[in-house]
Amino acid sequence: MDYVTRQFINLTKKFRKELPKLSALLHRDLHQHKKAITAKTKRDNEQDEIWEKWREDVFSKYEESERDRGTRDDRSHRIQNSIRRATWCAFLAATIYAGITAYYAHVTRVTLDEIKRQTPYFAQSASASDTSAKNQTKAFNSEQRAWVVPIYTGLDQAHPVVANAPLAHFFNIINTGKTPAIHVEVVAVIDLYGFDEVLPLGLRNYSHESGLGTDRRSYSILWPQMLKPDTFQSHKNKFASRGYFIEDATYKLYTQNKLFVAFFGQITYDDIQGHSHWVHFCGTDEFAQPVYLTAHDPRRKCLEYNAVDSDPE
């Protein structure tokens, strides 16, 4: 055989020997290519699905945006119409309110003018009502308050003036009011005085330092219509050299009508509302009408001294 034939045979043998390898390699390459094509196809499909989904999302959002835009436009249009109508309504309401305000301002001005015109009459009426209320209150308090007054007996009856005995007087007080009197105090002076003397009447002469022979009684409470009898004596007689006993010479002047007995003093008390009241009293053993007494007669001053506070409160 020639050289070419041998080379061809050798190459054929070598090819046949290498053919399985080439076949396996080709099969592997075909398999890998198939896998690559499958992967590419799968990837293309996935991309197509992603694209389709994205496109649907985009188009749906776009369509939704278009619908929302239309809805918003409609809503905006309705809102503008509502605002326009509300503005007109507010304008009309303001106009009506301004008219009502002007009307009431006119009515108020007319009313104020009328009030100014009637104010003096109202003031007079209020003052009269206030005065009436105060008078009614005073009348009520005057009717309901305690009223303590003295009850006189003749100075020459229960305890007549006798020689070598003290001066004494039986004296009653009574509450003629409708409520109790509290903190009642009676301060009294009984003594002999000449017709040319001035009786020491007055509050300053009832103190312990006055030098007069005062006799005192105190009562914590005096109920309505309650009579309180007591006897007051002279503790210091200016004519007596032996204490408060009347000497014979003094008694003789008394029997000659050159002296008279005076019994005077004051009563103080509080009512249940805490208001203080007073009573001045004075009496003599020779009663005479003031019209028959001269202006300088001490018995006239004695009668004029009798007084009761008139404050109803």
pLDDT given for residue 241 in this prediction: 45
pLDDT tens across the length of the chain (313 residues): 566 566 666 666 666 676 666 667 766 777 777 777 777 778 777 777 776 776 666 666 656 566 666 666 677 777 777 777 777 777 677 777 677 777 777 777 877 777 777 777 656 766 766 676 666 666 666 678 899 998 865 554 556 788 888 788 888 899 999 899 999 999 888 888 888 888 888 777 777 666 666 788 999 999 999 888 888 877 655 554 444 678 888 889 888 988 888 888 999 999 988 889 999 998 887 655 555 677 778 888 888 889 988 765 6
pLDDT given for residue 20 in this prediction: 67
DSSP notation for 3-61: HHHHHHHHHHHHHHHHHHHHHHHHHHHHHHHHHHHHHHHHHHHHHHHHHHHHHHHHHHH
* In contact, 191 and 238? CB cutoff 8 Å: yes
CA–CA gap between residue 251 and residue 247 (Å, rounded): 6
Contacts of residue 210, Cβ cutoff 8 Å, sequence gap at least 6: 200, 204
pLDDT given for residue 14 in this prediction: 67
* In contact, 284 and 254? CB cutoff 8 Å: no
pLDDT given for residue 298 in this prediction: 85
pLDDT given for residue 84 in this prediction: 78
CA–CA gap between residue 247 and residue 239 (Å, rounded): 8
Q: Could you tell me how far CA 229 lies from the centroid of its own chain? A: 48
* CATH 2.60.40.10 is right for the domain spanning 148-308: yes
CA–CA gap between residue 4 and residue 256 (Å, rounded): 213
Domain positions in the chain? 1-143, 148-308
pLDDT given for residue 242 in this prediction: 43
CA–CA gap between residue 178 and residue 130 (Å, rounded): 26
